[in-house]
């Protein structure tokens, strides 16, 4: 076998690097690294950490809240000022109304007092007039049931029936006046009013009323319209047994045999109770 020859190796060129050139490259790299680090540091300065962000957010919220509170306080302060002004104005109006009310109240009390005084005066006048009118009828007798006749002589007729029915003899001078009263009831004879000269003659006749009554003739006191109304009130009261007029005044007897006098505007219940209270005292 033939002996092979080894291939030829390529020649290697040896490169010589100078030390000065290597130092320059290394320095350049360091400068670049330094600049890069400086740039990174600058960039890191602008990077916000989580803690810094939370703190910044807290401060921002505090500032916002503070600003809102200031605005709200300012608005509330304005509203309070306006409200105080309004309340002050309303208070003045209320005070004016209260003053006006007090004045009106005073005027009303004065009017009520005057009205009460006038009413009392009117009542007193009515009572006095009624009392005088009743007193003027003190000697009068109202007669019912005397048949009407054409051309009648009432004086002579009354003298006759007084003697025949009651045994009371009258002369012409004892009868001051006698006449019939108007009446709307045509089914009954018109009433007769007899005015006598003396009270004792009237009393004598009134004591014989029962004898007249059996003959169909009724004798009554000549009572004013107001006293008639008072007597009707008394008779309809549950405490009153009977009522009548005597000597110009109205009197009544209770079911407990109490005798009282009444005036036109008396409260019957109050007067009876007051009488009983005074009796017990």
38-52, 111-125, 196-210: range with lowest mean pLDDT? 38-52
- pLDDT over 70 at 159, yes or no: yes
pLDDT averaged over the chain? Answer: 86
CATH number of 138-222: 3.30.70.1820
Domain ranges, ordered by start, for the chain: 63-137, 138-222, 223-281
**Angle subtended at Cα 224 by Cα 121 and Cα 260, rounded to the nearest 5 degrees:** 75
Q: What integer is the mean pLDDT of 191-219?
A: 94
With cut-offs at 50, 70 and 90, classify the pLDDT of residue 12.
Answer: very low
The H-or-E segment that residue 218 falls in is strand 218-221
The whole model's pTM is what?
0.60
**Closest to 264 in 3D by CA, of 240, 239, 241, 233:** 233
Question: Do residues 219 and 143 make contact, with C-beta atoms less than 8 angstroms apart?
Answer: yes
């Amino acid at each position: 076998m033939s002996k092979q020859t080894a291939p030829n190796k390529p020649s290697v060129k040896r490169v010589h690097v100078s030390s000065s050139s290597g130092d320059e490259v290394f320095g350049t790299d360091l400068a670049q690294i330094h600049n890069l680090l400086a740039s990174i540091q600058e960039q890191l300065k602008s990077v916000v950490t989580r803690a810094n962000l939370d703190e910044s957010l807290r401060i921002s919220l505090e500032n916002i809240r503070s600003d809102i509170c200031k605005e709200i306080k300012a608005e509330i302060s304005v509203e309070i000022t306006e409200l105080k002004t309004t309340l002050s104005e309303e208070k003045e109006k209320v005070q004016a109304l209260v003053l006006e009310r007090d004045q009106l109240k005073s005027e009303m009390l004065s009017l009520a007092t005057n009205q009460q005084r006038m009413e009392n005066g009117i009542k007193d006048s009515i009572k006095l007039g009624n009392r005088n009118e009743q007193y003027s009828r003190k000697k009068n007798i109202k007669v019912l049931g005397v048949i009407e006749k054409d051309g009648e002589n009432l004086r002579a007729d009354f003298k006759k029936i007084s003697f025949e029915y009651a045994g009371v003899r009258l002369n012409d001078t004892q009868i001051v006046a006698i006449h019939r009263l108007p009446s709307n009831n045509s089914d009954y004879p018109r009433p007769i009013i007899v005015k006598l000269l003396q009270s004792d003659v009237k009393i004598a006749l009134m004591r014989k009323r029962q004898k007249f009554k059996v003959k169909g003739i009724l004798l009554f006191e000549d009572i004013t319209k107001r006293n008639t109304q008072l007597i009707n009130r008394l008779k309809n009261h549950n405490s009153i047994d009977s009522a009548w007029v005597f000597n110009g005044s109205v009197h009544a007897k209770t079911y407990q045999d109490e005798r009282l006098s009444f005036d036109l505007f008396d409260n019957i219940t109050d007067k009876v109770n007051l009488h009983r209270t005074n009796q017990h005292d």
